[in-house]
Amino acid sequence: MTTIDFTKYPKPRSRRHVSPNQYLPKDRIRIDLEYYPPLIPSIAWNEHFLNAQAPQYLDIGCGMGRFLLETALAEPKKNILGLEVREYAANWIRSVIQGERPHGVLGNAETLWYSVANGLPFITDASVEKIFYFFPDPWFKKRHHYRRAFTPAFLDECARVLKPEGTFYLMTDVPDVDAYQRETLRQHDVFDFEECPDDASWGLIQRTDQEDFSLRKNIPYVRVKCWKK
């Protein structure tokens, strides 16, 4: 498989979080914001993927994109779209994609600076095979929970865009987030779900940056697969 020489793409200095407003849907913000990820009511896929087709995979909160880029290389026939609220991260991934396309790879990868708090209006119903939602920011304090993207409305959007046989993948190393997500899934009854205790039941080979960090530091994490009811 092709590999990318990442030394060609120096990573920007990371800032931990963006303005709290960016985790809210735009229509719930009362002040005028100069800096907010653009809303995307609709999209022309020919401007994003070489084959001009819609994505089969979504990586929501893709961070610095290791999983996205490696999955795109491993599965060149699948388009994968990353959505990321941190602009510098989305820009960096795009710089890798633009830099590699002349070498004949990553025509199937794209990342957008976007807050998923605004739903997925630019994704057609029942069009996506896999949604990845990996290591979301935990927002431990109760008064910050509103910043978590994993809400009943978010589950409805994921269920809407997934194909009937599609899979929604979750990973987290934070027990409180795992419990919160399972409780939200139970109460908002649109997905069945199952914990994957081993690699075989999980079925994904590529790793995220955060997963790699957990593995290196021996931090346990939980993997859950969800299917539409």
Ligand X SMILES: C[S@@+](CC[C@H](N)C(=O)[O-])C[C@H]1O[C@@H](n2cnc3c(N)ncnc32)[C@H](O)[C@@H]1O
Residues with a known catalytic role: 137
Q: Is 133 helix (H, G, I), strand (E, B) or coil?
A: strand
Strand 162-172 and strand 222-228: pairing? antiparallel
Q: Which residue has the tokens 């990973």?
A: 171
Q: Is 85 one of the binding residues for ligand X (CB under 6 A)?
A: yes
Distances (CA, A) of 127 to 65, 72, 163, 183, 226: 22, 18, 6, 27, 16
Site pattern 99..138 for ligand X (x: CB under 6 A) = ----------------xxx----------------xxxx-
Is there a contact between 131 and 58 (Cβ–Cβ < 8 Å)? yes
> CB under 6 A: which stretch of 69-77, 96-104, 188-196, 206-214 binds ligand X?
206-214
Q: Does residue 159 sit in helix, strand or coil?
A: helix
97 binds ligand X (CB under 6 A): no
Nearer residue to ligand X within complex by CB, 50 or 145: 145
- Report, in Å, the least distance between residue 112 CB and ligand X: 9
166 part of the interface to ligand X, by CB under 6 A = no
Q: Is 57 in the site for ligand X (CB under 6 A)?
A: no
Residue ranges in 173-192 that form contacts with ligand X under rule CB under 6 A: none
Tell the smallest beta-carbon distance from residue 137 to ligand X (Å): 5
Strands of the sheet containing 80-84, edge to edge, are 109-113, 80-84, 57-60, 128-134, 162-172, 222-228, 191-195
* Residue 214 in the binding site for ligand X (CB under 6 A): no
Give the binding range for ligand X (CB under 6 A) out of 82-90, 102-110, 120-128, 172-180. 82-90
Instruction: Give the C-alpha separation, 49 to 57, whole Å.
Output: 12
Rounded Cα gap, residues 173 and 186, in angstroms:
20
**62 near ligand X (CB under 6 A):** yes
Residue type, 99: G
Stretch 9-48: interaction string toward ligand X, x if CB under 6 A: --------------x-------------------------
H runs (alpha helix) in 16-162? 66-74, 87-100, 152-161
Is 89 among the residues that bind ligand X (CB under 6 A)?
A: yes
Closer Cβ to ligand X, 23 or 57, answer by number: 23
Q: Toward ligand X, which CB reaches closer, 70 or 84?
A: 84
Measured CA angle at 167 (ends 37, 156), to 5 deg: 55
Is residue 71 a contact point for ligand X (CB under 6 A)? Answer: no
Question: Which residues of the chain form contacts with ligand X (CB under 6 A)?
Answer: 23, 61-63, 83-86, 89, 115-117, 134-137, 149, 208-211
